[in-house]
Structures are given as C-alpha cells and as structure tokens.
Amino acid sequence: MKVFNTITRKKEKFNPINKEFVTMYVCGPTVYDLFHIGNARTFVVFDVVRRYLEYKGYKVKFIQNFTDIDDKIINKANQEGKDISQVSERYIKHYYEDADKLNIKRATLNPRATENIKEMIDLILHLIENGFAYEVNGDVYFSIKCFSEYGKLFGQDIKTLKVGSRIEVNKNKKDPLDFILWKKSKENEPGYDSVWGKGRPGWHTECGSMIYKYFDGNTIDIHGGGGDLIFPHHENEIAQIEALTGKSLANYWMHCSFLSINDEKMSKSLNNFFTTREILSKYSSNCLRFFILSSHYRNELCYSEQQIIWAEKSLERIYKCYFSILDKEKGKIENVHDKHISEILNFKDKFIEKMDDDFNTSDGMSVIFEFIRYVNSFLFEFTSSELKYCKNILVELLDILGINIKEIVERGSKIILTEEIKNIIMQRYECKKNKDFVSADSIREKLLKMNILLEDIQDGVRVVEADTNVFVETILY
C-alpha cells in the first residue's frame, strides 16, 4: 500500500510503526459555526482513509480535536451575549449531528482544547526551559531560529517566505516567522491563569500538545488535514513537538485539497459556501459522499449543483443494479457451474489495487461502474451463489467509501415512476416549453397530490417523494 507523503513529496510504501495498529490524528473544526461542504470533504476523505485501513485489518486509533477556544468563537459569543462554552457546545452538538448524518465514523476520541490547557501550559514551559521559546509582555513565542529543520514540511527555504500575507507582523517577535504559543488575553476576553498572566494557548500549540498527550509522546503514523494547514499550522506543530522530543511528530503527512466553487476556494471568509446541513436537507448523505470521493483527495474538486445531480444519477445506477440482483436472487436454484466467481472476485482485487495506490477513490469508483456493467450483462446467467457474491462485493466496496447501499435500497422511496407518470411529467415540460405556465403549474400540483414533488434542474427534473424528501429519480428531457 502506498501513501503520498507531503513531507517527502512522494508516494511511499505504508509501513506503520506497529504492524497491527495505526495511529492517526486529523485537525478538527473550530466550533463557531456549522461546517461547510469544503470542511466535509476533509472529514469524509480521512473517514475513508480510516475505513480502508480498518478494512485492511488494522486497528486504528483516530483522534480529531475540537478547537473550542479561538477569536472567532469569542466574537460569536460577544455578538450573542453568551459565554464561549455555550457557543462551542452548540456547534459541537451540530458537528456530531451533521457528521453522523454524513456517515462519518466517530473518532476514537475528540479532545477539546479547553480540556487540555494545563498540558499546553506545561509544553510551553518546557519549550522556554529548553531555550526554544521566549516571553514578551505576557505573550510567548516559539523561536524558529532554534529549530534548524523549520520549513521542512512546507518544503521551501524559510527565508523566501514573505512576511505580511501569511505571517502576522508583530514588533514583539525576534523573528517575523516566530509564532505564538501563548496569547495574552485582552481586557474582557476569556482566559486562563498562567505564570505569564491571563491568556490562552495558540492554535498550533493545541494540536501539538494534544497529539503529544493522547499518543503518549510517541511518533504517530498519519497526521492529516486540509492542504491549507501545511503552513503555518502543521509546520508549527512539528517545530514545537520535534524541538522538545527530538522525534518525528508523524511519519506520514496527508493533505486533502480544497473544494472550489466558481473557481474560488470555498471558505467562510469568502462567504461562498454551502453548509453540509443545507446540502443534506436536499440530497442524501450517499450522494454528497459520492460527489466528494469522485475526485482523488489530492486534486481540486469543483462544486456545482450539476455535479451533485450527476452524483445522484450515478448512485441511481448502483441502486438499480443492486435491486436487480435482489430480484434475480428470488427463485434461483443453486447451480453447480459457478464459472463466473473468479471474474467477479477480480473486480474486488482491482478496486483494492486502486485504493492501495494512495486511496484513489476516483479510480476505485470507475472499477465499481465497470463491475456494474459486468453484472448487468450477465445478470440472467448468474447462479444464485454468483448473485450472492455480486451483492456482497457491491455492499463491501461501497462500505469502504462509507456509502450505505443496503439500508437505502431497503428504506427506498415507495414511489414507482410508471410510464403514465413519466408522460405527465413530459406533458408539463411541453407546457413549459410553450410558455403555458398555468397548465404546467396545475400538472405540478396534481403530481404533488400524488406525493410526487418535482424540482426543476438544468435540462430536466428531479423527482422527490414529497412527504419524506427521499429522492426517486432524475428525468432528463
């Protein structure tokens, strides 16, 4: 199995420290708002990394933190006239609601920054004692000139980094690249007592210190996060922990590329985002996961409604194939000539080969579609044990991607789109084309009375079961 390692900039053979046990840390959300689908991409990608490792037989200790003290949380609490813990509690609750709905497996542990303040203070004290950090007026900084390997993750000579854009300008710093470990609280700002006065830890200290604590000071196998965290966040985590322990913080650094919308990165600051909750109110969790995983995690992924609808249509093909297998299974008698089994198993091997190559979900999905074409063409020939193999492999491979097919198909919509209903839908389309909107609307109302909701999309219509919001089918004109 190979993993692309950001720190060496190449694909490397994956060799965990312990042969059966993988340790993994992923930077979690700052809990001041609902997470958007760009964040969801990171969470889903690392969920699949973890699921795949577990599929391969590893036990995985997966830790993802909550940043529950931060300027954004303080601002939000001030706006609402609430305590910061009320704000963070609310968004931690919402995080779990949305992540559960998105079928993201719960982490082994989700430590919160505020529960680990003492450990962070201890870490900073150690850094000062060992000459890696210094205090100025209640703020504490890490001195990068004391850590000769600074910049190794980012992969550029640190002298070429421009101060200002990504590096905070501050006259208290000895070097512009020095970063804050402890931030003195302003008046009326929440904070914790320390030998440097009231303050709070810097974000980079949070993650570094929690990894140190929850993995007992050991090097971990995988550290993951969004690509925008490489510098300065992860670089600074490395500096603090490696300066102190003399050991690597992590052996493999994995970074997920961003989600773009209209050629821009989706982000809170650009205000061009959709929350995961918004998308999941309209589309299924399978659909959002399918869309996210259709691109390799290191490639940019562009969001558009058309892409989500494409994902929904693609899933529909998978569901239909699964349905057909179930259908054919009924009444099949056992046949001794199971000549297709090795061909069927071959698809599984091919999928695993793709996933072994740096978690290539995109190519893995192509294998699933190849498999579906294959199943559809031999459906009438398969014996009952062959059908069972097909069914189980489909469920097994999709489960690695966190796409739940069994439950969806069994729960599915009760609506069956007969030719008659399809004709009515086409009649409405004709009315719309002829600008007879009154008739088009009355057809829509008539269908709604039959529990069928139509949502117009480009070149077609999405059919949804009105009372449950369960997607039925996309009809293209």
Q: Which residues bind Zn ion (CB under 5 A)?
A: 27, 207
Can you read off the two tokens belonging to residue 5?
């390692």
**CB-nearer residue toward Zn ion: 180 or 207:** 207
User: At closest approach, how far in Å is the CB of 195 from Zn ion?
Assistant: 25
Minimum distance from CB of 453 to Zn ion (Å)?
42
In the complex, what is the shortest distance from the CB of residue 225 to Zn ion, in angstroms, rounded to a whole number? 6
What is the length of the chain? 477
How far apart (Å, rounded) are the C-alpha atoms in residues 239 and 201? 16
Give the shortest CB-428-to-Zn ion separation in angstroms.
51
* Amino acid occupying residue 102: L
Residues 322/324/326/328 CA torsion (nearest 10 deg): -150
Maximum Cα–Cα distance for the chain, whole Å?
82
Q: Least distance (Å) from Zn ion to the CB of residue 308?
A: 29
Instruction: Find the shortest distance in angstroms from Cβ 28 to Zn ion.
Output: 8
Q: Is 267 exposed, middle or buried (0-12, 13-18, 19+ CB in 10 A)?
A: middle
Nearest CB to Zn ion, comparing residues 210 and 279: 210
Whole-angstrom CA distances from 377 to 230, 336, 380, 388 are 47, 20, 8, 16
Which CB atom, from 181 or from 315, has the smaller least distance to Zn ion? Answer: 181
Residue whose CB is less far from Zn ion, 67 or 251: 67
Residues 477, 471: Cα–Cα separation, whole Å: 18
Minimum Å gap between C-beta 400 and Zn ion is 26
Task: Using the CB atoms, write b or e for 418-439: b if 16+ within 10 Å.
Answer: eeebeebbeebbebbeeeeeee
CA–CA separation, 54 vs 399, rounded Å? 11
Minimum gap (Å) between residue 445 Cβ and Zn ion: 52
How near is the Cβ of 383 to Zn ion at its closest, in Å?
52
Using the 8-state DSSP alphabet, how is residue 457 labeled?
Answer: E
Residue number with CB closer to Zn ion (205 or 285): 205
Q: How far is CA 86 from CA 74, 89, 97, 98, 189, in A?
A: 11, 5, 17, 19, 15
Question: Would you say 226 or 364 has its CB closer to Zn ion?
Answer: 226
CA-to-CA distance for 222 and 5, rounded, in angstroms? 9
Least Cβ distance, residue 123 to Zn ion (angstroms): 14
Neighbours of 165 (CB within 10 A): 6
Q: Are 197 and 188 in contact (CB under 8 A)?
A: no
Closest CB to Zn ion among residues 113, 390: 113
Question: What H or E segment, with its residue span, contains residue 47?
Answer: helix 37-55
Alpha helix ranges (H) inside 102-246: 117-129, 203-214, 235-245
**Residue nearer to Zn ion on the CB measure, 235 or 473:** 235
DSSP string, 270-337: TT---BHHHHHHHS-HHHHHHHHHTS-TTS-EE--HHHHHHHHHHHHHHHHHHHHHHHHHTTPPP-S-
Rank residues 151 and 225 by Cβ distance to Zn ion and give the closer one.
225
Residues facing 298 on adjacent strands: none
Beta carbon nearer to Zn ion, 111 or 364: 111
Work out how close the CB of 207 gets to Zn ion at its nearest, in angstroms, rounded to a whole number: 3
Residue 236 or 413: the one with the smaller Cβ distance to Zn ion is 236
Among residues 36 and 234, whose Cβ is nearest to Zn ion? 234
Residue 213 CB, nearest approach to Zn ion (Å): 14
**Token digits of residue 131:** 């000459």
Q: How far apart are CA 113 and CA 117, in angstroms?
A: 7
